[in-house]
Structure 1
Amino acid sequence: MKLSRYFCGSLLGLPLSVWAAANPSASSGVGSLLQVLLALALVLGLIVAAAWLMRRFSLVPGAGSGHLRVVSGVMVGQRERVVIVEIEGQWLVLGVTGEQVNVLHKLDKPEGVDVAAPALPAFAQWLQAALEKRKDNSENKNADAT
């Protein structure tokens, strides 16, 4: 019965609470084992989710190094993108879907074009401006206090 108190309000513990209510003579060892297994499953699920997010959003350090660099990309559908990739001074225009990647066009790298950092998306620009404004406001308050 002690175990059902731990999981009473959660949907994850609902089947366990029903089982504990149906088996009042169950030993506390079984309940502890189930609690450990649920915690282990949760931790493993979080690890898998974090790895997927890092891979999905290219947060892996050093992934951009080497001879291949993504210059630009734009979504043209729900799962379709057009991406420009630079490989040793040549640009490839690629059509990327969930199932395949097709070369749409090959170009020589335009002269005088340096794409060291991609343009910030609208939210990133807004966030950067808000942080700078907050920093300026805090500096003004510190100057007024002295």
Structure 2
Amino acid sequence: MPSLRHVRVLTTTVDELAPRTAYDVWRLRQQVFVVEQDCPYPDLDGRDLEEGTRHVVLLDDDTVLGTLRVLDDGDAARIGRVVVAPAGRGRGLAALLMDEAMALCGGREVRLDAQSGLAGFYAAYGFEVTGPAFDEDGIRHVPMVRAAVRP
């Protein structure tokens, strides 16, 4: 696996994603969320196509190492579908994704549903648990919010 200095961060809309990159993004999400985590669910929910959605993709050459999406929920931003390829885990790639996502969100309120074991990771970005744990597709999650940052 290449060093982090070779990783490129791409932030784009779905219409600007190259077709092969888009395919690799959806394949990675399927590989991890559906196959690895054994959670059959409708990943292609239409939100990827929304005008306000931004995709953050980590690339090494043309290889997708990780991705997430930032959604516009009107009164807040929402981060979701955070995933790093198995071969890239433990190398700080999730932090690269989140750094870019937080920059995109600016001072807005930001919401996400974290897998319970990752709540501490998101807490480092200012997120706080805002409700009880819940089951989503057989995995425990907690709702989390980073309050709007006032200038």
Same-fold call, TM cutoff 0.5:
no
Indicate the structure with greater helix content: 1
Q: Which has the larger radius of gyration?
A: 1
Question: Which of the pair has the greater relative contact order for Cα pairs under 8 Å at 6+ separation?
Answer: 2
Q: TM-score, normalised by structure 1?
A: 0.18
Q: TM-score, normalised by structure 2?
A: 0.18
